[in-house]
Structure 1
């Protein structure tokens, strides 16, 4: 992560926090060192960002602070347009509506000479060629349960048609060109598993929170996938 991006993310983390955030907590969230966090916070304070606190206790962002508006370049606008096009085609209805809203908001604030990149873009993603088989699955709710760290009980059919019932800890929903994947820790297997949403026969959304931190599960899964690629 570039330092400029990290500075922005620190402000965003402090803005969302309900109480003081320690340097250790910020470092864990951004996957960087505490020393880098302390340097970044000192830099932000030097730029008159109203952060109060100190190392070892925690930091808070004073209310009423807002970041100055960011001006996008033409390449950045096209990147947003391309990403939004993909989401409109491949994501669930909730994210598709959000992508359309994002484009409308950006078009309303950028200068006229950049608006053409949204209204008549020079980039495009292909349409969806096949009907999805997970029309009955509430993918938006799967995303919500992943964010909230709540358990699911699912009945799943594998590629050979064998059915199983298991309790899982969802933490990511993967959007691929042709399928969507629920990525979770499986209590039955005691390991990470990926489940195609079009093979989910039944889902019971439990109120029980799983004991592991979602961010920790995500980092462990990404490390495991990286190790597999290296092999």
Structure 2
């Protein structure tokens, strides 16, 4: 491994951690000696990376430092292309689909020619499935989630019964045949799941819900026995 590649790997290891990580752990992950790690840390700091810490205490990369144009591996490029194409084909939300295509185009624009060719030549295909269309603008749900705002919705249950709810949306699940909003329902005083194609009307409420989105998600995972992503 070249020193440049090693420095990029070291930056990525630090970016993946929000708490200090010991020098021994970093050196072990990179397969280098602790003395080499200290030199690499000093090199990153000299190049402007705000790496805080010192030997014996651990290191953390403070926010604000951006990597130079990345040299993706072939597998990483295929993952980016597949993910972007899946969103473009499956999102059932024109804004999200367009954003996926635009993001992929921006990434391709800053890559060297050889890597850009890999994006264009990748042989991964996402088939378009049949998703029940929705009558509401799903981007409003995503906006409410982003700003942690309540939503007033009219919902048609599987038996056709109509109800009006005030919900605290915190996640959208994308499945082959449906899109599901996970939310706290004020009427039921419990977590509930709402199919977007069964929401017949929605109105944003300019009021933040009282808990943070991350807290709701953590509680929802605990209630459903779902482990957090690694």
Query: What RMSD over aligned residues (CA atoms) do the two structures have, in Å?
Result: 3.1
Spell out the pairing of 1:134-149 with structure 2 (5 A cutoff): 134=134, 136-149=135-148
What is the match of residue 33 of structure 2? Answer: none
How many residue pairs get aligned? The number is: 194
Deviation at 1:51, TM superposition (A): 5.7
Gaps of 5+ in 1: 11-25, 27-36, 54-58
Paired residues of 1:7 and 1:40 also in contact (CA < 8 A) = no
Do residues 38 (structure 1) and 37 (structure 2) align? no
For residue 74 of structure 2, what is the aligned residue in structure 1?
A: 74
Q: Which residues in structure 2 correspond to 1:119-138 (within 5 Å)?
A: 119-128=120-129, 130=130, 132-134=132-134, 136-138=135-137
> Structure 1 residue aligned with 2:14, among 7, 15, 20?
7
Which residue of structure 2 lines up, in the alignment, with residue 13 of structure 1?
A: none
Distance 1:156 1:5 in 2: 44
Distance 1:62 1:162, change over 3 A: closer
Partner of 2:155: 156
Higher-Rg member (1/2):
2
Checking the alignment, whether the CA contact within 8 Å between 1:51 and 1:62 is kept in structure 2 is no
Q: Unmatched 5+ residue regions in structure 2?
A: 1-9, 24-37, 54-59
Per the alignment, residue 102 of structure 2 pairs with 101
Matches of 2:122 and 2:181, distance apart in 1: 32
* Aligned-partner Cα distance in 2 for 1:71–1:176: 32
1:101 Cα deviation from its structure 2 partner: 1.1
- More displaced stretch, 95-104 vs 112-121: 112-121
The equivalent residue for 1:15 is none
Shift of 1:61: 5.0
**Alignment check: 8 A CA contact 1:170 1:182 kept:** yes
Question: Which residue in the other structure is 1:219 paired with?
Answer: 218
The TM-score with structure 1 as length reference comes to 0.72
1:154 CA drift (Å): 1.1
Q: How far apart in 1 are the matches of 2:139 and 2:203? A: 14
Deviations 1:175-208 (A, max 9, x none): 2122111110011111111100110011121001
3-state SS in 2 of match to 1:38: coil
Is the contact between residue 131 and residue 178 of structure 2 (CA under 8 Å) also seen in structure 1? no
**Matched residue of 2:21: which SS?**
helix
Deviations 1:88-129 (A, max 9, x none): 11111111111111221222222333333322321111113x
**2:131–2:176 contact (8 Å) kept in structure 1:** no
* TM-score of the aligned structures, taking structure 2 as reference length: 0.73
What residue number does 1:89 align with?
89
- Residue aligning to 1:14: none
Alpha-carbon distance in 1 for matches of 2:13, 2:150? 31
Deviations along 1:153-181, whole A, 9 cap, x unmatched?
Answer: 11111111111111110111122122111
